[in-house]
Structure 1
């Protein structure tokens, strides 16, 4: 995710760690949706510049950026990281979510991905804008839809704690 949330890069051009990657327009979203997958199987969905969801290879949530807030898995919860800036540095303030807050967070995520899945059920509601992939357009759409379904199947769980983060 971008260091400064106001300065999102052109993900199709700049996010070279993602291959394949695609930018799509779907009926239920005003802004284009970016999807990309890394070599290790981790994948991300960017709904415009906000929200952003990053998943492990099993479709378990690792990180998110929502309403200007960073989130990351932290044992069995999510840590909300708030950027506090001054003229010389940026400090991340950590606040662990309660079980209820995590449940609400995951339900909101699942609702968004359910709408995205409903667009993919009717392929006429999905328009590929740009892509970098070895797959055909239909194969790429099917791959993205498979990842959406994987997220939905695992939307009640979090990925293991991100290594090196406490």
Structure 2
């Protein structure tokens, strides 16, 4: 783990794994949003650096970064990971999020995505950059619509190296 972390300066430029990506400017809130779809159809949406959400090809939440903490799916719950640094060591603290807390968090994800989708539909966002001249926003809008049809679902747990 790096000792010193910095905020990403250019999320759009750093998002090289996307086959198609967009950078939006929201003048009302003086903010940027970066969204992209990878070759394996995973979708990522960065509301600045925090929060950000990552979905698999079936529109299930795989990972998120919220309030400075990484959230990772374990199929039926999320593990919240937080780095605690001292001069001597770095410790990764884990806390499981489930039950009512999970429902509330997934509700917040749904709300963020719904606002984003509505802003897109109402032309309240300006595309400042895109990966292709003909990057069709319909692709992104379709994914958002599919995600928002149902409560946010969790992707299956990531495979681990431990046995």
| Aligned Cα root-mean-square deviation (Å) | 2.3
Q: For 2:126 and 2:19, how far apart are their aligned partners in 1?
A: 19
TM-score of the aligned structures, taking structure 1 as reference length:
0.86
Q: Which moved more, 1:11-20 or 1:56-65?
A: 11-20
Structure 2 alignment gaps of length 5 or more: none
Q: For 1:59 and 1:28, how far apart are their aligned partners in 2?
A: 28
1:161 maps to: 157
- Structure with more of its chain in helix, by fraction: 1
1:16 positional shift: 1.0
1:151 positional shift: 2.2
1:129 maps to: 128
Match of 2:143 among 141, 147, 160: 147
Matched, 1:105 2:105: yes
1:165 positional shift: 7.0
1:1-166 matches, within 5 Å, as: 6-26=6-26, 29-87=29-87, 89-122=89-122, 124-133=123-132, 136-137=134-135, 139=136, 141-164=137-160
1:48 positional shift: 0.7
Q: For 1:147 and 1:88, how far apart are their aligned partners in 2?
A: 45
* Contact map agreement 2:109 2:152 (CA 8 A) in 1: no
Moved over 6 A (4+): none
TM-score of the aligned structures, taking structure 2 as reference length:
0.87
Residue correspondences, number: 161
